[in-house]
Structure 1
Amino acid sequence: MPDAKPSLTSKALEPIGHPDPGTGTFSPFRYPVFRAIWIANLFSNLGGTIQSIAAAWMMTELTTSHQLVALVQSSATVPIMLFGVFAGAIADNYDRRQVMLWAQIGMLVFSGVLAVLAYLDILSPVLLLVFTLAVGIGTALNSPAWQASVRQQVDSKQLPQAIALNSISFNIARSIGPAMGGVLISIWGTSFAFLINAVSYIGLIGVLLWWKPEARAIERRPIIPAVGAGIRYCAGSQPLRRILVRGLSLGFSLAAYQALLPTIVSDQLHGDEFQFGLMLGLFGIGSIMAAPFVGPLRRKLHLEGILLLGSVMFVFVLSLLAEVQVVWFALPAAFVGGVGWVMILTSINTAVQLRSPDAILGRCLSIYQAVTFGGMALGSWAWGAVADWRGLPFALHAGSVFLIASFLLLRFVAPLPKPGEGVVRD
Structure 2
Amino acid sequence: MPDTASPIPAAKPGPKPGSALAPFRYPAFRAIWTANLASNIGSMIQSVGAAWLMTELTTSHLLVALVQASATIPILLLGMFAGAIADNFDRRRVMLAAQTGMLIVSAALAALSYSGNIGPWSLLALTLLVGMGTALNGPAWQASVRMQVGKADLPHAVSLNAVSMNLARSVGPAVGGVLISLWDTSLAFAINAVSYLGMIVVLAMWKPDATPPRKEPMLAAIGRGIRFCASSSPIRKVLLRGLVLGTGAAALQALLPSVAKDRLLGTEIDYGLMLGGFGLGSILAALRVSHLRRRFGSEPVVVGATVLMIVGLVGLALATTPVSAIPAAFIGGMGWVSAMTSLNVAMQLRSPEDILGRCLSMYQAVTFGSMAVGAWIWGLLADMAGLGLALNMAAAWLAATLILHFVAPMPTREEGRLDIVPESKS
- TM tier, shorter chain? over 0.9
Q: Aligned runs of 1:293-308 on 2, under 5 Å?
A: 293-308=288-303
**What's the counterpart of residue 86 of structure 1?**
81
Q: Aligned runs of 1:273-352 on 2, under 5 Å?
A: 273-352=268-347
CA contact (8 A) 1:15 1:21 kept: no
Q: Aligned runs of 1:46-195 on 2, under 5 Å?
A: 46-195=41-190
Which among 211, 217, 234 is matched to residue 239 of structure 1?
234
**What's the counterpart of residue 415 of structure 1?**
409
Please state whether the residue corresponding to 2:295 is helix, strand or coil: helix
The question of 1:219 aligning with 2:206 is answered no
Please state whether the residue corresponding to 2:297 is helix, strand or coil: helix
CA contact (8 A) 1:239 1:416 kept: yes
Which among 368, 377, 381 is matched to residue 376 of structure 2?
381
| Separation of aligned partners in 2, 1:196 and 1:306 | 36
The residue type paired with residue 411 of structure 2 is P
**What's the counterpart of residue 14 of structure 1?**
10
**What's the counterpart of residue 40 of structure 2?**
45
Scaled by the length of structure 2, the TM-score of the pair is 0.96
User: Deviation at 1:406?
Assistant: 2.1
CA contact (8 A) 1:357 1:425 kept: no
| Separation of aligned partners in 2, 1:237 and 1:275 | 45
Question: Where do 4+ consecutive residues of structure 1 move more than 6 Å?
Answer: none
**What's the counterpart of residue 3 of structure 1?**
none
The residue type paired with residue 331 of structure 2 is V
Give the gaps of 5 or more residues in structure 1.
1-8
CA contact (8 A) 1:28 1:158 kept: yes
User: Deviation at 1:329?
Assistant: 1.1
**What's the counterpart of residue 404 of structure 1?**
399
The residue type paired with residue 133 of structure 2 is G
User: Deviation at 1:217?
Assistant: 4.1
User: Deviation at 1:158?
Assistant: 0.7
The residue type paired with residue 13 of structure 2 is G
CA offset digits 1:196-250 (Å, max 9, x no partner): 0000000000001100111324221011110110010000000000110110000
**What's the counterpart of residue 423 of structure 2?**
none
CA RMSD of aligned residues (A): 1.2
CA contact (8 A) 1:21 1:28 kept: no
| Separation of aligned partners in 1, 2:16 and 2:226 | 35
| Separation of aligned partners in 1, 2:185 and 2:29 | 32
CA contact (8 A) 2:83 2:361 kept: yes
User: Deviation at 1:407?
Assistant: 2.2
User: Deviation at 1:17?
Assistant: 2.5
Please state whether the residue corresponding to 2:238 is helix, strand or coil: helix
| Separation of aligned partners in 2, 1:108 and 1:157 | 34
| Separation of aligned partners in 2, 1:221 and 1:196 | 39
The residue type paired with residue 48 of structure 1 is S
**What's the counterpart of residue 260 of structure 2?**
265
| Separation of aligned partners in 2, 1:206 and 1:217 | 22
Percent identity for Structure 1 against Structure 2: 56
The residue type paired with residue 417 of structure 1 is P
| Separation of aligned partners in 2, 1:198 and 1:167 | 22
Scaled by the length of structure 1, the TM-score of the pair is 0.96
| Separation of aligned partners in 1, 2:124 and 2:212 | 39
Please state whether the residue corresponding to 2:11 is helix, strand or coil: coil
